[in-house]
Amino acid sequence: MTFLALAGVTKQWAHEVTVGPVTLDIARGEIVALLGPSGSGKTTLLRLLAGFEAPDAGTIRVEGEEVTRLPPARRRFGMVFQHYALFPHLDVGENVAFGLHDLADPDAKVRDALALVDLAGFERRRVQELSGGQQQRVALARALAPEPRVLLLDEPLSNLDPTLRERTRRELRALIKRVGITTLFVTHEQDEAFDLGDRIAVLSRGRVEQVGTADALYEQPATLFVATFVGRANVLRGAAARALGAANGHVAVVRPERLRFGGRGVAGVVKERRYTGAAAFFQVEAEGGERLEVLAAPDAARVGDRVQLEAVKVLTFADQS
Amino acid sequence: MTARERGRALAAAALTLLLAWLVLYPILLVGVDAARGDAIGAFARRPGEWQALWASVWISLASVALAAAIGIPLAFLFEWLEFPGRKTLGSLIALPAVLPPFVGVIAFLFLYGESGFVARAVQRLLGLTTPPWRLQGAGAILLVHAYSMYVYFYLFTRAGLAKLDASMLEAAQALGAGPWATLRRVILPLLRPSLAGAALLVFMTALGSFSAPYVFGGGFRVMTTQIVASKLNGELALATVETVALALVAIVALALIRRTEGSDVLVALGKGTAPRRRELRRPATRALATVAGWLFAIVLLLPHLTLILVSLVPYGTWTTETLPPHVSLVNYQRLLAEPERLAPLLNSVWMAAASTAVAIAVALAAGALVRRRLPWPWRSPIETLIALPWALPGTVFAIALAATFGVHQPLALRWVLVGTVVLLPLAYLVRNLPLTGRAILAGFRQIDPALEEAAASLGARRWATFRRVTLPLLKPALMAGGSLAFVAALGDFVTSIVLYTYDNRPISIEIMSSLRVNEIGVAAAFGVILMLVSAAVLGVGARR
């Protein structure tokens, strides 16, 4: 059952830069990642949802109610900004209470919201004296306090220490699921999209290339872009592609772990070995000059070995280039 | 175009037209008047005019040199060396800033003038029958300028030095550069934008300076005093030509100095920490630095003390003695008790407050509009018009407004305002625009747009967002710009002397009339009040 529906949403910036048309159906309580490289239009899409930009065409509906032209203030979408946008002239409690302006007594709600993000008792702290992780949680509490219909997160983890990210990711997902709010978030990192999202929409040049679960994107990428942007991939054209079973004029894509050293297949020489502990990445130069990356057991081959590579699973796409 | 965008464009057009009418139109009218009449010929034929123009230029250049010679070494001293009393002295160094120009000038008159304290002391000491000197001419003007303008060089250089990256200096030393080579090849080039900024500010201030040449000039005329003299003689046509000449000099100077400014990129490149202060260790050097510092502080403070002392002298009680024999608060009592004397005080306060309030409102409107991604045709005209009055001396605007609003032509948007109480606050407003505008536009630029978007996504409408987020964040900028504007209008003399009427005579004009009838105590008392109010307002404005 669709809760949030985007239908043909389009926004034209300059003559050549267009986002959309984007059509996307999101269920109640679902977490959807907007994944794409910079300039792919994912942030524009988030801002269209928040109401900071108005689309040139298309509609956005929540529970059947059209909100396309509704100003942000009346949309009841909560947003967590990339740099959190905490009001520096207000303390933590006042920040969280900002969206509860109409309430006679917002204190109880502020307390609940702060408890939800594990910051009980932080009401009178200044936002400047909080750590990055705490600021992020205040921003989240502030966005959730007015009980919005949809939660939007712009690169929610990009401002955190790398060591903190993984843990925060899990905590954030648990929290959103506990609240049960329908959520969209923007990211350019695959790990983040995989960990946090129920489904992932991959964007490229303003268009949605594919929407699906992490498994589906990895195993059945719909386009060459998705195949190469999500996960590592060897892209082969011409003779090497044909050797792996691709038809004429098609591109073959093989993941490193789907290549195996064996007695048949593409011949080449191991040029480089990068050890990662449980396994190793091997760079193999094929006879045609192509470079292939293979993930295998650390002792599977040595630099300088002449090897043959066979593919366990090959994805093929019509060559657009 | 959506309805909101149309509304924004309409508001921007209205604001641009209002600013153009207020700022640009009078200047253009003066230019047309000057070009049409035959006063140009008279101007070109009189050698006095050319002498005055040249005097304005060289006095301004000399003021830059003097202010730099005092301000730059002081900045290095205070930024790089540690010695006893550095902090206290550092806060005293901005003292000249709380003296409005005209008040500073009369303080100098009481202190170093032919019947001032210093001259009397020297006369008594040497047993002379006549005062040892007369404080007059170019030297006197330069003395006042150096005292009041070195602060710009001092502050700009210190700010520049604070931005320097210590590792850059260490790199220079590691590459074999000695202290002098480091100064010449690394530090000064990096300070260039700061120094050019200070030079520009001093040159413009000196070019527009009126109080010092008016009081000390004697026969020595600069352009500002020449203009006012022509105006008071009723030669308005000649005054407009002189005004245009002065404005042209200002614009050419602005363009020339801007070109030497260089790019700020150089400084922004290094993001390291400033060099640490070096402690002076040798006792003799420490003592020398301390004594020199305190002597300097006393020199800085003397005009203020003089003003206070003179304000305590009852009328006619101080004749030939070195120090006044009687002191009392009678001048202040008279000032507050006599409605005739209280009026200028109230006039100045209401005109300064009104002009500052409107200047803040205009700057807020401009900031809000410029920020909202206006279509390009509006953006830069608004910013330029707000900054324009800064580039032209106050006398230029006074004459321009007098000429524009001296005739009744409603179709040309001209009404007779000369002789009404409105014209002077209007002139203050024009002069205040760059002060509030600069601070508030910069304040707007510092606000992260995401903060306003956050407010919107939390349910705040536009007005609520402005009231609850934008305005509180702008408060420091509002206070800073507003206090500067209020103090400038409160102490104004240049525009006042051209545009005042009896009903709105401000403090500076009253000080002048008191001096004319030799009531120096009353004049000084007005000066003290002006000084204290200025200091208090600036102090409040600088608080974060």
Question: Is residue B376's pLDDT more than 60?
Answer: no
**pLDDT for B212:** 92
Q: Chain B partners of A50 at a C-beta cutoff of 8 Å?
A: 453, 457
Task: Identify whether B178 is part of a domain.
Answer: no
Full-model pTM: 0.83
Chains A & B: contacts with CB separation below 8 Å: 65
CA distance A287 to chain B (A): 48
Instruction: Summarize pLDDT for A305-321 with one digit per residue, the tens.
Output: 888 888 888 888 887 76
CA distance A52 to chain B (A): 7
The least confident of A200-214, B175-189, B206-220 is B175-189
Q: Please state the rounded mean pLDDT for residues B512-529.
A: 90
Of B459, B461, B473, the CB nearest to A99: B459
**pLDDT for B325:** 81
Asked if A91 and A212 sit in the same domain, the reply is: yes
Asked if A43 and A111 sit in the same domain, the reply is: yes
Domain count along chain B: 1
Across-strand partners of A294?
A282
Across-strand partners of A200?
A33, A212
Question: Is residue B352's pLDDT more than 70?
Answer: yes
Task: Identify whether B256 is part of a domain.
Answer: no
Question: Is residue A121's pLDDT more than 50?
Answer: yes
Asked if A54 and A156 sit in the same domain, the reply is: yes
Q: Chain B partners of A99 at a C-beta cutoff of 8 Å?
A: 458-460
Confidence bin at B265 (pLDDT 50/70/90) = very low
Substitution target from A91, A96, A101 for chain B, most B beta carbons within 10 A: A101
**pLDDT for A66:** 92
Confidence bin at B373 (pLDDT 50/70/90) = low
Asked if A58 and A168 sit in the same domain, the reply is: yes
Contact B458 A82 (CB under 8 A): no
Q: Compute CA distances B394 → A278, A284, B388, B397, whole Å.
A: 78, 77, 11, 5
**pLDDT for B267:** 45
Question: Is residue B459's pLDDT more than 70?
Answer: yes
Task: Identify whether B135 is part of a domain.
Answer: no
Q: Please state the rounded mean pLDDT for residues B50-54.
A: 91
The least confident of B133-147, B310-324, B501-515 is B310-324
Task: Identify whether B496 is part of a domain.
Answer: yes
Residues A34, A190 contacting (CB under 8 angstroms)? no
CA distance B521 to chain A (A): 47
Of A54, A73, A87, the CB nearest to B459: A73
Q: Which of A141-145, B2-6, B152-156 has the highest mean pLDDT?
A: A141-145
Question: Is residue A131's pLDDT more than 80?
Answer: yes
Task: Identify whether B295 is part of a domain.
Answer: no
Question: Is residue B183's pLDDT more than 90?
Answer: no
Strands A150-154 and A182-187: parallel
B544 in contact with A, Cβ within 8 Å: no
What mean pLDDT, rounded, does chain B reach? 86
Residue B186 or residue B73, greater confidence: B73
Residues B451, B469 contacting (CB under 8 angstroms)? yes
B455 in contact with A, Cβ within 8 Å: yes
Task: Identify whether B13 is part of a domain.
Answer: yes
Across-strand partners of A61?
A5, A66
Q: Chain A partners of B469 at a C-beta cutoff of 8 Å?
A: 87
Q: What is d(CA A269, CA A114) in angstroms, rounded to the nearest whole number?
A: 58
Last residue of a domain, one of A228, A252, A282: A228
Confidence bin at B274 (pLDDT 50/70/90) = low
Contact B2 A79 (CB under 8 A): no
Question: Is residue A297's pLDDT more than 70?
Answer: yes
**Angle at CA of residue A235, ends A232 and A238, nearest 5°:** 170
Asked if A180 and A301 sit in the same domain, the reply is: no
Question: Is residue A181's pLDDT more than 90?
Answer: yes
Last residue of a domain, one of A228, A263, A289: A228
Tell me which chain B residue has its CA closest to the CA of residue A73. B459
**DSSP states of B17-76:** HHHIIIIIHHHHHHHHHHHHSSHHHHHHH-HHHHHHHHHHHHHHHHHHHHHHHHHHHHHH
Q: Of all residues in chain A, what percent carry a pLDDT higher than 70?
A: 99
Contact A81 B473 (CB under 8 A): no
Task: Identify whether B87 is part of a domain.
Answer: no
- Residue of B435, B428, B453, B434 whose CA lies nearest to B373: B453
Confidence bin at B270 (pLDDT 50/70/90) = very low
Question: Is residue A278's pLDDT more than 60?
Answer: yes
Question: Is residue B353's pLDDT more than 90?
Answer: yes
Asked if A246 and A168 sit in the same domain, the reply is: no
B1 in contact with A, Cβ within 8 Å: no
**pLDDT for B377:** 61
Asked if A86 and A204 sit in the same domain, the reply is: yes
Question: Is residue A158's pLDDT more than 50?
Answer: yes
Interhelix angle B520-542/B471-490, nearest 10 degrees: 170
- Residues of A with a Cβ under 8 Å from any B Cβ are 50-52, 54, 71-79, 81-83, 85, 87-89, 98-99, 101-102, 142-143, 146, 152
What mean pLDDT, rounded, does chain A reach? 88
Contact B458 A77 (CB under 8 A): no
CA distance B542 to chain A (A): 17
**pLDDT for B257:** 78
Of B458, B464, B473, the CB nearest to A142: B458
Asked if A46 and A132 sit in the same domain, the reply is: yes
CATH of the domain at A250: 2.40.50.140
The least confident of A81-90, B19-28, B104-113, B182-191 is B182-191
Contact B458 A75 (CB under 8 A): no
Domain count along chain A: 2
Q: What is d(CA A168, CA A132) in angstroms, rounded to the nearest whole number?
A: 11
Asked if A140 and A204 sit in the same domain, the reply is: yes
Asked if A301 and A192 sit in the same domain, the reply is: no
User: What torsion do the CA atoms of B479, B482, B486, B489 make, to the nearest 10 degrees?
Assistant: 160
Q: Chain A partners of B451 at a C-beta cutoff of 8 Å?
A: 85, 87
Q: Between residues 423 and 452 of chain B, which touch chain A (CB distance below 8 Å)?
A: 448, 450-451
Asked if A179 and A256 sit in the same domain, the reply is: no
**pLDDT for B378:** 60
Q: Please state the rounded mean pLDDT for residues A254-268.
A: 85
Of B454, B459, B475, the CB nearest to A101: B459
Q: Please state the rounded mean pLDDT for residues B145-170.
A: 85
* Residue-number span of the structural domain to which A281 is assigned: 232-318
Of A52, A72, A85, the CB nearest to B451: A85
Asked if A216 and A251 sit in the same domain, the reply is: no
- ipTM higher than 0.90? no
Residues B484, B439 contacting (CB under 8 angstroms)? yes
Q: What is d(CA A297, CA A294) in angstroms, rounded to the nearest whole number?
A: 10
**pLDDT for A148:** 92
CA distance A131 to chain B (A): 19
> A70 is written with which tokens?
């509704």
Confidence bin at A115 (pLDDT 50/70/90) = very high
**pLDDT for B269:** 46
Q: Please state the rounded mean pLDDT for residues B187-208.
A: 88
CATH of the domain at B534: 1.10.3720.10
Q: Please state the rounded mean pLDDT for residues B376-398.
A: 82
Last residue of a domain, one of A228, A243, A261: A228
Q: Chain A partners of B473 at a C-beta cutoff of 8 Å?
A: 87-89
Contact A79 B453 (CB under 8 A): yes
Contact B468 A77 (CB under 8 A): no
Task: Identify whether B406 is part of a domain.
Answer: yes
* Residue-number span of the structural domain to which B535 is assigned: 1-36+333-544
> With DSSP H G I counted as helix, E B as strand and the rest as coil, what are the percentages for chain B, rounded to 5?
80, 0, 20
